[in-house]
A and B are shown apart, each in its own frame.
Chain A
């Protein structure tokens, strides 16, 4: 079981989790705690309630009830007794903790001038355990380089197909250097703090030794900032979509920086329908497209195309299952 998560949990929750069967504990993905409701865990593809003695059960009333007192304690531990330091996080609805794990929260929302100011009375916690999938990028790396240059790449994928994991591993491989290319300076604009999972600006995920991260920064602004201040060889950005994102990608490419980014979609033609991305594709901004799916499990690489949409790989690659 993950040490960092254990450290922030109240003693009662901790002891129940330690009593779980070890097979379940090893594959724990989410711990869901809702005030006055039974504790729920998700592991593998299943979910289940947990009894006070650490047994799995499908019957809600046998589950161990997460009390109000426990909720207060947990929030106290997570915030290190300093709620004021979590203002931004309470506004966004999730808290990143040591190890890059993420705690989603819900409760009573406080508004100010029409905007969410934060969440008071936090009653629901979703503790998502981050697991590194190193080597995810291994099979696609050979397609990303040509004559020592890094291709401008667009990763296209429906939700939950391992897009972010792949992107993170590409960043790490570029930063460390790999068998196809020497190491590069990598800049990550991590608007949703998902790629690097920063805590106080320090990446909690391994994104490589030559990587600079702009945490929680809007993509378009962040890309320009990084180009000016950190002179990266490769820019890594998650989920391009807005007009200004497209412009920033365009700028970066013409500033001699390779861009690797992702977009939601099922295939290249679908993505090409979207105004910003369509224009980028039309003008040949990208020289590689990686298509993900879950046909052979999460993170199947359906196909890799070059700039003229000719397929360059030979078979599907499954790297996550």
Chain B
């Protein structure tokens, strides 16, 4: 009886682990999409709205879902409370605080930080150029992420279950 309960537990936790890993593959393209939307909104705010950076960040933060939105809200707060001296600093601190909660990877982080270095420090045309460049980069990464999702999401989910099953079979 105890053995049976143990087997069920093992099967359950193994599937959960697999499911979790697979889910990360599903989340990355979704969050990348959110980041892309955020940067496109930022472009509109900067190029057409001439909105000051902290106000643009707040707007984006409210409209972009989940962790990516919260990242921009944090950056805005850092700027408003002057805990960050520059826009670059604010963005970096916000990234540090929120990145671990996202499914995003090193490459996305690099794109965003290098954008932070120029954000707000030049005229409109230049800002637009940098934002477009970042968007193009992220698009490429998004495609890659979607391909990976197709390849690995199901695989990890089934793999988790199958590994659990293997252990259970060996147990008996």
Interface of A toward B, CB cutoff 8 Å: 73, 76, 79-85, 87, 118
12 new A-B pairs (CB below 8 Å) besides A82-B51, A85-B52? Answer: A76-B85, A76-B86, A79-B120, A80-B52, A81-B79, A81-B87, A81-B121, A82-B50, A83-B121, A84-B124, A85-B50, A85-B51
The distance from the CB of B57 to the nearest CB of chain A, in whole angstroms, is 10
Residues of A within 8 A of B50 (CB): 82, 84-85, 87
Shortest beta-carbon distance, B85 to chain A, in Å? 7
Q: How far is the CB of A204 from chain B (nearest CB, A)?
A: 16
Q: Which chain A residues border B86 with CB–CB below 8 Å?
A: 76, 81
Q: Digitize B22-49: 1 where CB-to-A-CB distance is under 8 Å, 0 elsewhere.
A: 0000000000000000000000001100
Check if B53 is an interface residue, CB within 8 A of chain A.
Answer: yes
Instruction: Tell me the minimal C-beta distance from A143 to chain B in angstroms.
Output: 43
Q: How far is the CB of B117 from chain A (nearest CB, A)?
A: 13
> Is B139 an interface position by the 8 A CB rule?
no
The contact of B53 among A73, A80, A87, A118, by CB within 8 Å, is A80
Taking the closest CB of chain A, its distance from the CB of B53, in whole angstroms, is: 5
Contact A73 B85 (CB under 8 A): yes
Q: In the bound complex, what is the Cα–Cα distance between A82 and B85 (angstroms)? A: 13
Most chain B CB within 10 A, of A80, A82, A85, is at A82
Interchain CB contact under 8 A, A81 and B54: yes
Mind listing 29 A-B residue pairs with CB under 8 Å?
Answer: A76-B86, A79-B52, A80-B79, A81-B52, A81-B53, A81-B54, A81-B79, A81-B86, A81-B87, A81-B90, A81-B119, A81-B120, A82-B51, A82-B52, A82-B53, A82-B56, A82-B120, A83-B121, A83-B123, A84-B47, A84-B120, A84-B122, A84-B123, A84-B127, A85-B50, A85-B51, A87-B123, A87-B124, A118-B123
Are B85 and A84 in touch, CB under 8 angstroms?
no
What is the chain A residue whose CB lies nearest that of B124? A84
Which residues on A sit within 8 Å (CB–CB) of B56? 82
In angstroms, how far is the closest chain A Cβ from the Cβ of B104?
24
A83 CA to B127 CA in the complex, in Å?
A: 10
Of B119, B120, B122, chain A has the most CB atoms within 10 Å of the CB of: B120
How far, in angstroms, from A80 to B57 measured CA to CA in the complex? Answer: 12
How far is A76 from B86 in the complex, measured between Cα atoms in Å?
7
B11 CB to nearest A CB, Å = 54
Query: Smallest Cβ distance from A178 to chain B, in angstroms?
Result: 38
Which residues in B have their C-beta under 8 angstroms from that of A79?
52, 120
CA separation between A85 and B48, bound complex, in Å? Answer: 10
Which residues of chain A come closer than 8 Å to B52, judged between CB atoms? Answer: 79-82, 85
**How far, in angstroms, from A152 to B128 measured CA to CA in the complex?**
49
Complex Cα gap A82–B80 (Å): 13
Across-interface contacts of A81 in B (CB, < 8 A): 52-54, 79, 86-87, 90, 119-121
- Chain B nearest CB, measured from A266 CB (Å): 42
Q: Is the CB of A83 within 8 A of B120?
A: yes
Determine whether the beta carbon of B54 is less than 8 Å from that of A83. Answer: no
Instruction: Please determine whether B54 and A80 come into contact, CB atoms closer than 8 angstroms.
Output: yes
Bits for B101-129, please: 1 = Cβ < 8 Å to A, else 0: 00000000000000000011111101100
Q: Is the CB of B54 within 8 A of A84?
A: no
* Cα A118 to Cα B90 with chains together (Å): 26
Give Cα A84–Cα B118 distance, bound, in whole angstroms: 11
Nearest-neighbour CB distance to chain A for B152, whole angstroms, equals 40
